[in-house]
Amino acid sequence: MSKTNASQHQPIAVVGMACIFPKAKDLDGFWQVIRMGVDTISEVPDTHWRPEDYFDSDQKAPDKTYCQRGGFIDTVGFDPTEFSLPPTVLEATDTSQLLGLVVAKAALEDAGYTPEREFDKDKTSIILGVTGCLELVIPLGARLGHPYWRKALLESGVDPATADEVMERIADDYVPWQENSFPGLLGNVVAGRIANRLDLHGTNCVVDAACASTLSAAHLAMMELQTGKADVVVTGGADTFNDIFMYMCFSKTPALSPSGKIRPFDAESDGTLIGEGIGMVVLKRLDAAERDGDRIYCVLKGMGTSSDGSQKAVYAPYSPGQARALRRAYEAAGVDPTTIEMVEAHGTGTKVGDVVEFEALKGVYSEAGEGKQWCALGSVKSQIGHTKAAAGAAGMIKAALALYHKVLPPTINVSAPNPKLGIEESPFYLNTEARPWLSNSAHPRRAALSSFGFGGSNFHTVLEEHNPAKTMPSWDNSLELVAYSAATRAELIAHLESELKANHELARAAHTSRQNFRADHHCRLVLVVEAGKFSERLKEAKEKLEAGKNPDFYGEGPAPGPVAFLFPGQGSQYVGMARELACIFPEMLESLQAMGEPIPQKIYPIPTFSKADQKLQQAELTSTDMAQPALGAISLGMYRILERFGLSPEFTGGHSYGELVALHAAGVFDQDALVELSRLRGSLMANLGDDLGTMLAVTGPLDKVEAALKEAKLDLKLANRNSPTQGVLSGSKEEIAKAAPIMKEAGFSVIALQVAAAFHSPLVAGARGPFRDGINPIKFKKANLPVYANMTAKPYPAGEKKAKDLLADQLVNDVHFVAQIEKMHADGARVFVEVGPKRVLSRLVPAILGDKEHVAVALDASQGKKRALVDLARALAELAALGLPVNLTAWEKEPKQARLKRMEIPINGANYRGPRKPIPPRPKKAVVQTVSQSVDGSRQTVGAPKAPAVTAKVAPAPAPPAPAPAPARASAVDRKVFQDAFQSVQSTLSAMQAMAQQTAEAHQRFLEGQEQAQRTFQKMVEGQQSLVAQMMGATPGQTVDGSRKMVVAQAAPVAPAVPRVVPAPVAKPVPVAAPKPVAAPKPVVAPKPAPAGDKVAQTILAVVAEKTGYPVDMLNLGMDLEADLGIDSIKRVEILAAVEEAVPGLPRIEPEQMGSLRTLAEIVEKLGASAP
């Protein structure tokens, strides 16, 4: 390979990542959403658009969308001072640009490139995927429709003044144009603003490949690195365009889901849903990242690209074109598709798109190998929607985190695979639950990622793990342990009260509490808290303590006594046991991998979609050769996790097979020996023959069970004495079948156990000799703590030979568990912890010990019905509350120290609108009824105009002048003038009414004149509202009764109106007021402004606050105009002009001099005032 080709195929390391996606404000939150299979799709929020305005279930309804669900990011507290952005420019800046700054900075910091670190910014680039113009272009463009609005209003007969008011009201719903609008709506400025504010000097651009934009940007980023043009590249995608315009685009394709649920590759899929998001990764050449000691999430091995050409319509997916990109990616990466174990598909949930994509995948992968269902297929769009330009970023981050955390993430909303896929006969399966990603001895873990865009733009990339070992827990802040301790109950209550008032953020409060917790304090309380439940849990605990009750996991006084670990035996295994622990803790993953194939694959088989298949998977795990090693792997992993938290036993014991793990925990033999003996024991017992018998659990007093057994002369053994009232019969299947009705008739309840053999009976005696032979070469060390044997109910003997004989004999002899627990208790054990799946033994212990002092704790208390992490947390909380030395500081990682915010403005996917004064609704025109005297002396009522008759031409009178602004106080003269004005209007009306009675031809013009007079009257009332209020005793803003009779001296001339049809009133959409910017809880204390006497300094601070939107108390004269406040040269001139107007006579600063003035203090000094 030539040097040029070699450089083009250099692997690229992902060293930093950050994102904001629906229900995920950061990287940890996104991984939590992914791993836990959270569906973030929701109804469209009021901040975006109103369904009552635009929703119609009829897909053909014009200008309507048939979908009102999608993925929307939560509100983020944005601090404009962090990026020197004046708050006044936020309305003119698209959300993608604002939140892009937040994500880019977080990604660089995640990569270790903090503001304090020096690095070569000349070779640091920012290349992002962004589609065209941003959402801000829509309201700015719509605002320019005012000529059409005005024309339509005037053509509909609306008078110019009302038309102007209507236009003003409409325009108020759109963000106004300003000098920052142009850059604020441009997609390329998403990257440009990042380069500007973070001072990056490399390539700065965006790439548009529609829904494939992120991977197209990543492709360019990789080339920049491979050619040496850049050393660091920030790349990814940004798309917060989820307004009604985008919904209309997808509705009229049509591509959106009518059911409002996105189901990639599912039989019921009916379309996609759109989402918002921003995701970025920091890339470096792999050798440079290794040299610099960077944390490496994964490695980009290669990327393939293609175009569909002319075979299909520009928006139609094309399988051969996609397959071309796949093949090019694997060629560039130098890997075989058979080594790819996870594919993050484009997977939009459309029936056509999913089938076409799967056809390409199936074709390429089937060419490479003949195996079936070895590669997990999924799409994060099932959880967050199709984030368009950012879709590839979401997929890349998901795949990178999956490789880093060694987890195969789930795809949700799959009830059954689309039958058109034929997935059962392909290399793929749909992974619907998070499962540990087990290592393959033949190759590293590898994933692939696809993105396809409108216009036939296809991208596919290959990712590979960097470190095959999982080195630390995959904490994601989904669950916290909050621990408090105090000398007295009253002191503890006071502590909880203080915590409630402080209203601390959960992660920080939990971390601090664990650091301060002391097991030797008299009162101890540990709370298990999920996100969003902190205050609720605190309040519950406080109220119980105040009421004299004990909350869960509360303890007082000294710890109860020594701890014993108990390890379960066969029968406790189940498919999926401890799955979440295997996805989080390296100890569990390592123990699973140590047990070797196919054990982990039987514990965590590929997901199935039928009960028959699920039963088959459970049956395969129940086979003795699978069940015993599987129990060993899970029990060993849990034991290692307890070690992480500082817990170790003083006694150990097991039930049947569990005795092997107990011996290992006591240091008798190492992990390799445990693996070997576990596999050997299970294999020997599984291969003894076809009929190995079975077992029957019987509930009743054991002495009576034994008596019934003898009386019935059944060839069975009471093999297990589990509790005083529970035993297990062991023997042939025929004898067990006879025993069941006999025991029921004797008054006992029975349960047939799902086991593969009649353990601890003569039927398995053939395994004893070979097992003893297998034990012989293994070195047994002296136990470092007592291990209690099932056979003798005593500690194992010290001699190696005796210990080995006892372990082998246990296969065929009775399990005296009752006597064993009683002996352990007699020897001092008080806390019994079941270390393994289910809670069989922790239920037996209380049944054996009764009222004797003891505590029994299970690590798998819900037996798989709840999250395994919750079960573990509750167990640790209980043990810590008892006063045991649990190292709670090992729970979760220390939260990052958040930057102290000076301001906090709420920003979400919709573009920001600052608080604005609403225009009050204009009162409806009242129909004025006037009783007038006709020419013939009759009285008639004049109301709304009737259909006009033929009218004579009447010369229009000049329009009335606009009313003058109301004075602050109404004088006697003012009142007289105002009364005269009202009298003028009334006289005019009377005169026109009389004229209408004299001739039919003048009737119509009279009505129009009356209408114009009423309009004139209304304008006068509006223009003189304050005057009317003071004159008539009303409060400002109070409606004045226009029907009140007034003396009028002179009539104002009235212009007749043109006859028109008045349209039915249309309800105006009520705009959702944007939340007001709020100051952060603990703002930075700024230096005090200039002394009160320094008028220039005070004026400058006030003007800057007004022009920029910064709170005046946040400003100080030492701030840099550009770096701190983001004030450009145009804004400087504007500020200076305002200061000169406010303080006349100041020395003039020429515009060319302004560029040399860097701080507010320098301006003050230049103007001749003393800075503080």
Tell me if residue 211 is catalytic: yes
The answer to whether residue 646 scores a pLDDT higher than 90 is yes
Q: How many CB atoms are located within 10 Å of the residue 1088 CB?
A: 10
The answer to which of 236-240, 946-950, 1167-1171 has the lowest mean pLDDT is 946-950
Lowest mean pLDDT among 328-332, 377-381, 565-569, 1114-1118: 1114-1118
Is 738 in the same domain as 660?
A: no
pLDDT higher than threshold 70 for residue 850: yes
pLDDT for 971: 41
Of 898, 900, 872, nearest in space to 475 by CA: 872
Using DSSP, state whether 1109 is helix, strand or coil: coil
Does residue 819 belong to any structural domain of this protein? Answer: yes
Q: Flag whether 1171 is in a domain.
A: no
Decide if 1116 contacts 1087 (C-beta within 8 A): yes
DSSP 223: H
Position 1114 confidence tier, pLDDT thresholds 50, 70, 90: confident
Identify the pLDDT of residue 1021. 37
Q: Which residues pair with 211 in a beta bridge?
A: 209
Q: Is residue 69 part of a domain?
A: yes
Residue 470 has pLDDT above 80, yes or no: yes
User: Packing angle between helix 160-172 and helix 146-155, nearest 10 degrees?
Assistant: 140
pLDDT, residue 674, reads 98
Output the pLDDT for position 915. Answer: 79
Task: Identify the pLDDT of residue 48.
Answer: 94
Q: Do 289 and 378 reside in the same domain of the chain? A: yes
With a CB cutoff of 8 Å and minimum separation 6, the contacts of 217 are 127, 128, 129, 206, 207, 235, 236, 237
pLDDT one-digit tens code per residue, 752-783: 987 878 999 999 999 999 999 999 999 999 99
With 60 as the cut, is the pLDDT of residue 32 above it? yes
User: Which of the pair, 134 or 433, is modelled with greater confidence?
Assistant: 433
- Residues 1107, 1105: Cα–Cα separation, whole Å: 6
Beta-strand runs (E) in 835-978: 855-858, 903-907, 930-933, 939-942
Q: Which helix (H) or strand (E) holds 731?
A: strand 726-731
Percent of the chain with pLDDT over 90: 69
Domain containing 539: what range? 479-556
Q: Which strands sit side by side in the sheet containing 76-78, from one edge to the other? A: 76-78, 903-907, 1078-1079
Is residue 587 domain-shared with residue 676, that is, in the same domain? Answer: yes
Three-state secondary structure string covering 647-669 = CCCCEEEECCCHHHHHHHHCCCC
* Other C-beta atoms lying within 10 Å of the C-beta of residue 444: 18
- pLDDT level of residue 43 (50, 70, 90 thresholds): very high
Q: Contact at 8 Å (CB) between 69 and 260?
A: yes
Say if residue 209 is in the same domain as residue 312.
yes
DSSP 28-74: HHHHHHHHTT----EEPPTTT--HHHHB-S-TT-TT-BS--EEB-PP
Q: Of 841, 860, 879, which one is at a domain's C-terminal end?
A: 860
The answer to whether the CB of 833 falls within 8 A of the CB of 649 is: yes
3-state secondary structure of 310: coil
Burial class (CB in 10 A: 0-12, 13-18, 19+), 959: middle
For residues 901 and 578, which has the higher predicted lDDT (pLDDT)?
578
- List the single range of 529-533, 604-608, 685-689, 984-988 with lowest mean pLDDT: 984-988
206 within 8 A of 130, measured Cβ to Cβ: yes
pLDDT class of 921 with cuts at 50, 70, 90: confident
Of 93-97, 475-479, 603-607, 1157-1161, the poorest mean pLDDT is in 1157-1161
Last residue of a domain, one of 556, 575, 602: 556
Per-residue model confidence as pLDDT tens digits over 507-541: 999 999 999 999 999 999 999 999 889 999 999 99
Whether residues 435 and 370 fall in one domain: yes
Q: What is the CATH number of the domain that holds 581?
A: 3.40.366.10
| Stretch 678-683: mean pLDDT | 96
pLDDT value at 627 more than 80: yes
Average confidence (pLDDT) over 1107-1114: 87
Question: Is the pLDDT reported for residue 340 higher than 50?
Answer: yes
Output 410 or 371, whichever has higher pLDDT: 410
Q: Please state the rounded mean pLDDT for residues 232-247.
A: 96
User: What's the pLDDT at 736?
Assistant: 95
Report the sign of the C-alpha dihedral through residues 484, 486, 488, 491, in that order: negative
How many angstroms from the chain centroid is the CA of residue 100?
A: 17
**Has residue 933 been placed in a domain?**
yes
pLDDT of residue 5: 52
Mean pLDDT of the chain: 86
- Which is the catalytic residue, given 48, 67, 298, 346? 346
- Separation CA 1027–CA 1142 (nearest Å): 30
Average pLDDT over residues 109-122: 94
Rounded mean pLDDT, 667-693: 92
Residue range 929-956: average pLDDT? Answer: 41
Average pLDDT over residues 1019-1024: 40
pLDDT computed for residue 1137 by the predictor: 85
What's the angle, vertex CA 436, arms to CA 431 and CA 442, rounded to 5? 95
Asked if pLDDT for residue 977 goes beyond 80, the answer is no
Give me the half-sphere count of Cα atoms (radius 13 Å) on the Cβ side of residue 911.
Answer: 24
pLDDT digits (tens, 9 = 90+) for 404-452: 999 999 999 999 999 999 999 999 999 999 999 999 989 999 999 999 9
Does 908 fall in a domain? Answer: no
Buried b (16+ CB within 10 A) or exposed e, 131-163: bebbbbbbbbeebeeeeeebeebeeeebbeebb
Specify whether 733 is located in the same domain as 831.
Answer: no
pLDDT of residue 313: 66
Asked if 1140 and 1166 touch (Cβ cutoff 8 Å), the reply is no
Identify whether 243 is part of a domain.
yes
Clarify whether 495 is annotated catalytic.
no
Total length of the chain: 1172
pLDDT at position 1172: 40
Judged against a pLDDT cut of 70, whether residue 982 lies above it is answered with: no
Give the domain CATH number at 733. Answer: 3.30.70.250
Q: What CATH number does residue 434 fall under?
A: 3.40.47.10
pLDDT given at position 7: 56
> Given pLDDT bands bounded at 50, 70 and 90, which one contains residue 942?
very low
Q: Does 85 lie in the same domain as 26?
A: yes
Lowest mean pLDDT among 563-572, 809-818, 1092-1101: 1092-1101
- Averaged pLDDT for residues 671-689: 93
Q: Domain with 1116 in it: what CATH number?
A: 1.10.1200.10
Same domain, 317 and 202: yes
The DSSP call for residue 563 is E
Q: What is the pLDDT of residues 345-363, one digit of tens each?
A: 999 999 899 999 999 999 9
CA 91 to CA 178: how far, in whole Å? 10
How many independent structural domains does the chain possess?
A: 7
Annotated catalytic, 386? yes
Q: Is the pLDDT of residue 975 over 90?
A: no
pLDDT score at 8 = 63
Q: Of 429, 464, 499, which marks where a domain is finished? A: 464
Q: Is residue 875 part of a domain?
A: no
Residues 270-329 have pLDDT tens digits of: 999 999 999 999 999 999 999 999 999 999 999 999 999 887 767 789 999 999 999 999
How far apart CA 404 and CA 342 sit, in angstroms, is 13
Residue in 19, 48, 67, 211 annotated catalytic: 211
* Mean pLDDT for the stretch of residues 655-684: 97
Residue 1035 reports pLDDT greater than 50:
no
Same domain, 144 and 127: no
The region of weakest confidence among 866-880, 973-987, 1133-1147 is 973-987
Q: Is the pLDDT of residue 1001 over 80?
A: no
Kindly name the residue from 48, 67, 298, 386 that is annotated as catalytic.
Answer: 386
Residues 331 and 458 in one domain: yes
Q: Are residues 152 and 215 in the same domain?
A: no
pLDDT at 1037: 39
- Quick one: 595 and 540 in the same domain? no
499 lies in a domain? yes
